């Protein structure tokens, strides 16, 4: 899909770059790798295509947020040519959103959870024809849940699978790792433009924190000063929390979950920005 403008993001500055403002030379020298989808909060990168009719297009294997007008479902397996038997490409944004929704459903509807086949069960192996010298064979691309990355030129960086944990299931092996954490919001303390959220499950608790890097990330601007909505919602409703972040131990040996993006956590399956917008609209009705 052709895109008519892009967001240029450098540190705290966001600038809209139209097709009239860009040339092939400017793109290569200034903008390459720093242009993003014009939709607010969408993490998808875009690249510039010059020619008689200039346009932006979605960066190869980059994914738009589910509510973005440029979102395209890319689920399934893909084949690429390469020398390695298995390669991983980045499905980070979409996979994280799917993982968050699965975590939420597992809290409200346990019967919806799919039972996974044990890893010890293996399919019988079949003999394969030997590969001839110099032959480049198509390889299957394994879709990982989180952390992989594939650049515009097709170069691949392998990532790790993202695991899901109820709060009471967190253990030493989760320290320093990215996890999907799920539980129920017990308490929230609004601190400046963000907050600390206490999430619990079966008498175990974890503190969800949003650090300085969260506040400085341009992608999170629309989430700052919105945490009042969680406090308001908690007065009347039970809030089911699901979030992706790094698990670590706090100063008092308590568990902490550090969230880096506003889109990386859900409250009752809903985005914080949308909750604040909805509650704000009710005030003026």
Whether the pLDDT of residue 186 is over 50: the answer is yes
- The last residue of one of the domains, among 13, 28, 58, is 58
Is this structure's pTM higher than 0.85?
no
- The DSSP element (H or E) to which 56 belongs, if any, is strand 55-58
Whether the pLDDT of residue 218 is over 70: the answer is yes
**Residue 212's CATH number:** 2.40.50.140
H-assigned helices in 190-227? 212-216
With the CA atoms of 37, 62, 161 and 220 taken in that order, what torsion angle do they form, in degrees rounded to the nearest 10?
Answer: -10
- The last residue of one of the domains, among 58, 83, 100, is 58
Q: Is residue 50 part of a domain?
A: yes
Question: Measured on CA atoms in the order 65, 243, 99, 86, is the torsion positive or negative?
Answer: positive
Query: What local confidence, expressed as pLDDT, does residue 51 receive?
Result: 81
Query: What local confidence, expressed as pLDDT, does residue 197 receive?
Result: 96
Return the minimum-mean-pLDDT range out of 22-31, 52-61, 132-141, 267-276.
132-141
Higher pLDDT residue, 199 or 63? 199
Q: Is residue 115 part of a domain?
A: no
- The DSSP element (H or E) to which 272 belongs, if any, is helix 272-283
Query: What local confidence, expressed as pLDDT, does residue 221 receive?
Result: 87
Q: Is residue 73 part of a domain?
A: no
Among residues 259, 247, 110, the alpha carbon closest in space to that of 170 is found at 247
- The last residue of one of the domains, among 58, 76, 96, is 58
Return the minimum-mean-pLDDT range out of 53-57, 117-121, 224-228.
117-121
Neighbour-count burial of 148, counting CB atoms closer than 10 A to its CB (0-12 exposed, 13-18 middle, 19+ buried):
buried
Whether the pLDDT of residue 187 is over 90: the answer is yes
Q: Is residue 97 part of a domain?
A: no
**Residue-number span of the structural domain to which 52 is assigned:** 5-58
- % residues pLDDT > 70 (the chain): 72
Q: Is residue 92 part of a domain?
A: no
**Structure confidence at residue 238 as a pLDDT band (50, 70, 90):** very high
Count of structural domains, the chain: 2
Q: Is residue 91 part of a domain?
A: no
Q: Is residue 265 part of a domain?
A: yes
Q: Is residue 63 part of a domain?
A: no
Among residues 40, 41, 52, 38, the alpha carbon closest in space to that of 1 is found at 38
Question: CB atoms < 10 A from the CB of 63, how many?
Answer: 25
SS3 state at 35: strand
Asked if residues 245 and 257 have their Cβ atoms less than 8 Å apart, the reply is yes
* CA distances in angstroms from 144 to 34, 70, 163, listed in the order given: 24, 23, 11
3-state helix, strand, coil in the chain (%, to 5): 25, 30, 45
CA angle 277, 278, 283 (to 5 degrees): 95
Return the minimum-mean-pLDDT range out of 8-17, 117-126, 139-148, 185-194.
139-148
* CA distances in angstroms from 22 to 12, 54, 80, 197, listed in the order given: 21, 9, 31, 43
């Amino acid at each position: 899909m052709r895109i008519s403008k892009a967001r240029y993001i450098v540190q705290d500055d966001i600038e809209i770059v139209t097709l009239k403002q860009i040339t092939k030379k400017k793109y290569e020298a200034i903008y390459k790798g720093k242009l993003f989808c014009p939709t607010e909060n969408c993490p998808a990168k875009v690249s510039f295509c010059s020619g008689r009719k200039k346009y932006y297009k979605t960066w190869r294997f980059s994914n738009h947020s589910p509510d973005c007008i440029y979102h395209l479902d890319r689920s399934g397996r893909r084949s690429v040519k390469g020398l390695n038997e298995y390669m991983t490409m980045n499905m980070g944004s979409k996979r994280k959103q799917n993982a968050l929704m699965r975590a939420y459903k597992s809290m409200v509807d346990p019967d919806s959870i799919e039972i996974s086949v044990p890893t010890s069960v293996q399919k019988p192996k079949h003999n394969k024809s030997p590969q001839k010298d110099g032959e480049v064979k198509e390889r299957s691309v394994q879709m990982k849940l989180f952390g992989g990355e594939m650049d515009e030129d097709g170069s691949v960086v392998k990532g790790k699978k993202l695991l899901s944990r109820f709060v009471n299931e967190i253990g030493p092996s989760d320290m320093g790792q990215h996890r999907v954490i799920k539980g129920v919001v017990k308490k929230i303390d609004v601190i400046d433009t963000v907050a600390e959220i206490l999430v619990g499950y079966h008498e175990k608790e974890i503190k969800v924190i949003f650090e300085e890097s969260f506040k400085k990330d341009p992608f999170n601007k629309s989430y700052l000063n919105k945490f009042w909505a969680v406090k308001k919602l908690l007065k009347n409703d039970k809030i089911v929390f699901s979030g992706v972040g790094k698990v670590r131990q706090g100063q008092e040996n308590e568990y902490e979950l550090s969230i880096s993006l506003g889109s990386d956590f859900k409250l009752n399956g809903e985005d914080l920005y949308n909750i604040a917008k909805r509650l704000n609209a009710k005030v003026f009705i």
